Structure 1
Amino acid sequence: MSVSPESPRPLRGGVGDVDAWRGALREALVELDAIPIGDTGGRADYTGWAHQLDLGYLTLTDVGSHPVRVVRTPRMLAGNQDDFFMLSIAQEVSYASQENRRFRLHRRDAILLDSTVPFQLRADGFAHHLVLTLPRADLTRVMPEARERVGRRIGADNPVLAVLRAAIAEIYAGEDRFDPQLLPELGHTLRELVFSVLRSHEPADQAGTNALLGHRAQLLRMRDFVQRHLAEPDLSARTVAAAFGVSARYVEIVFRESGTSPARHIREARMEKARRILADPRQRQRPVAAIARSVGIESPTVFTRMFRQFHDITPREYRQSQTGGPKGRGVLP
């Protein structure tokens, strides 16, 4: 399943009309009214889904629909026993309102919603949110002031929110391979990250942000930084340390706890990205030397030697094995 698809498409838990989607929302989240915008309700190619993962400490729900307005009305609150906080992360531009606060949510922004108070979410284009739902008691026990954060936009540039998004992406990427017994542990990790996101909602300096994050969360954040800077030849533990305002020794410790080192992880990330490029038929005419530079390796000789060390085959042989040319000596999955 894709966490942030470039174009809307049915996912597991997909439904064929807005009425069915409304029912799916009620089962996965809380009772909500879903009101089509434009011709959403009558279109034959309507796309909507509600796919939920029960992670013990909380639930993670991926919901999407063609343009729609979702409303939690006062009528729905009468005698209702639902008592949750929901951190909703926008995957597409949308609009949110609760507690007389109204925000335009950009992609990857988040907002904390209270199931006991009316709220509204609207999307004029495709609607797509990731929703983390946890009992009110869990959050207020740790953060008595959590109620004050309801209905406030949390910007996509919040560094702790970026870690939470990265963790969700990794969970979805490995969902089919996870041992069910690991799900509560993953839920615990996400819950702690939600707490950290809400604590870091007020502006904080880098040192304050670092203090909010444990090593596992820092590792996700550092891996994301490495992935975005692979093209830089001087990428190293020192580069990562400078970006996060910590020592190179601290970076070494964070990576060592995951069973590797910063240098090893950078090499692996470079070789994996190079492998994907070489296997891409759209990149068939791109010179191997140019691919090497795109992953931060300026010498084609060094690139070839390193690629062979990781994949037991040269870059040219691997490309040929993927494009129907003469076969190389090695075989990659």
Structure 2
Amino acid sequence: MEALVFDTEGMAVQDRFPFWYDTLSQSFMPSWVTTDHPTSFYGSARMLDLGGLQLLVMSHLKVEAVRPSKLIRQADPEIFQLHLVLSGKGRAVQAGRDVEFQAGQFLLIDSSRPLAGWRGAGDDAAETLIVQFPRASLGLRSAMIGGLVAAPFSVRDGITGVLAGHLTRLVENAGAFTPQDAEALTAISLELIAAACAHQLEASASLSPESRRQALLSLIHDFIRQRLSDPDLTPETIAAAHHISVRHLYKIFQEQSTTVAAWIRRCRIEQCHRDLADIRKRSLPIQTIAARWGFTDAAHFSRTFRAAYGVSPREHRISAAGNESDL
């Protein structure tokens, strides 16, 4: 799947903001938008449409947006937008709240409620990742989720951190996905969003069992990825960190048709495969790279690598270097 890319840089100055307004401000969620920089406006965006939800990463100079009742009556898609603020700051007025937000926070916006606010300041561009999805797809009662509308909450370790990382990787790796992946990616994303919202509301009991399982699995995956370099990473330490039994941990992975050890091994070998092809790491000995990702036995690493990729680590490095020289 390819992300759609929009950029005003190569356009005539007088066309930049009108293009931005028509292409994004109107098609994503209709609003009235103005800017303090009509003659020097700059904006860029990458959009990924998974069908069940849309993701947009946009960077732009300061804009002000208003979505009054009149626009809502004309067209209300009945969606939520969850904004992950990557840089810059802003203000939002919705649902009786008047809040300021900044980088490192999530902000939930409801298309069915009047909205006003601004984003960006001075000549500094603001960057935001927005995920848009039908309000009904969240699986939480509207009265509960209303408590999060226009109420910024921070990205921290745990489920909100996992969600932020997941959404960022979706856009960054859009080209690696196929149209057949869209349904699964949508389901996983919505489950993580619901889990993060429920956690923020301290209402995890309202989630379906499947959503709770998926949220726990995502937390475990993130925990493992952060500790691949630890050769003593074991099911016991993973289970203890998540306050579950080792038996429960095994069951979670069994439902994914794998094992804890196999998943750790796959993550480690993928990191080694990437680093061995990296020209910036060409001077590092192969075993140094292997040890960096938790392989302490050179012979075991070589066997595991060959089993996964059909070539030795050395052959892979030589092949990667040869491909670069042909460019």
* TM-score above 0.5: yes
Q: Counterpart in 2 of 1:89?
A: 84
**Does the 8 Å CA contact 2:195/2:215 hold for their aligned counterparts?**
no
Residue in 1 aligned with 2:12? none
Q: Secondary structure at the match of 1:28?
A: coil
CA deviations on 1:61-99 (whole Å, 9 max, x unpaired) are: 314123222412547647443243322122334323224
Report the counterpart of residue 47 of structure 2 in structure 1.
51
| Number of the residue aligned with 1:198 | 197
TM superposition score normalised by structure 1: 0.78
Match of 1:12 in 2: 4
The answer for unaligned runs of 5 or more in structure 1 is 3-10, 326-333
Q: CA deviation at 1:149?
A: 1.8
The answer to whether the 8 Å contact 1:55/1:186 transfers is no
Q: Give 1:228 shift.
A: 1.4
5 Å-filtered alignment, 1:1-333, equals 12-16=4-8, 17-25=16-24, 26-36=26-36, 41-42=39-40, 46-49=42-45, 51-56=47-52, 59-74=53-68, 77=71, 79-82=73-76, 83-98=78-93, 99-107=96-104, 109-115=105-111, 116-124=113-121, 125-136=124-135, 142-157=141-156, 159-169=158-168, 171-172=170-171, 173=173, 177-179=177-179, 183-184=182-183, 186-202=185-201, 213-324=211-322
Distance 2:72 2:234 in 1: 57
Please give the alpha-carbon distance, in whole angstroms, between the structure 2 residues aligned to 1:304 and 1:70.
Answer: 57
Q: CA deviation at 1:241?
A: 1.2
Alpha-carbon separation, structure 2, partners of 1:62 and 1:186:
15
Structure 2 CA distance for aligned equivalents of residues 275 and 54 of structure 1:
29
* Contact kept? 1:18, 1:36, Cα under 8 Å: no
Structure 2 counterpart SS, 1:42: coil
CA distance in 2, matches of 1:226, 1:210: 25
Instruction: Name the amino acid aligned to 1:261.
Output: T
Alpha-carbon distance between aligned partners in 1 of 2:253 and 2:155, rounded to the nearest angstrom: 25
Number of matched pairs: 308
RMSD over equivalenced CA pairs, Å = 3.4
- Supply the AA of the counterpart residue of 1:84: I
Q: Is the 8 A contact 2:139 2:194 kept in 1?
A: no
| Range that drifts further, 288-297 or 47-56 | 47-56
Higher RCO by CA contacts (8 Å cutoff, separation 6 or greater): 2
Aligned partner of 2:47: which letter?
H
* Structure-2 change in CA distance of 1:52 and 1:171 (3 Å): closer
In the alignment, the residues of structure 2 paired with residue 204 and residue 141 of structure 1 have an alpha-carbon distance, to the nearest angstrom, of 9
Superposed CA offset, 1:207-266 (max 9, x none): 999979433333232222211111111112222212211112222111121221110111
Q: 1:210 and 1:285 mapped to 2: Cα distance?
A: 50
State the Cα distance separating 1:275 from its structure 2 match.
Answer: 1.0
Farther-moved stretch of structure 1 (225-234 vs 142-151):
142-151
Quick one: percent identity of the two aligned structures?
24
Whether the 8 Å contact between 1:307 and 1:313 is mirrored in structure 2 is yes
Is the alpha carbon distance of 1:143 and 1:158 closer, same or farther for their aligned partners in structure 2, counting shifts above 3 Å?
farther
Change (3 A) 1:306 1:72: same
Greater shift after overlay, 158-167 or 245-254? 158-167
Q: TM-score, normalised by structure 2?
A: 0.79
Secondary structure of the residue aligned to 1:64 is strand
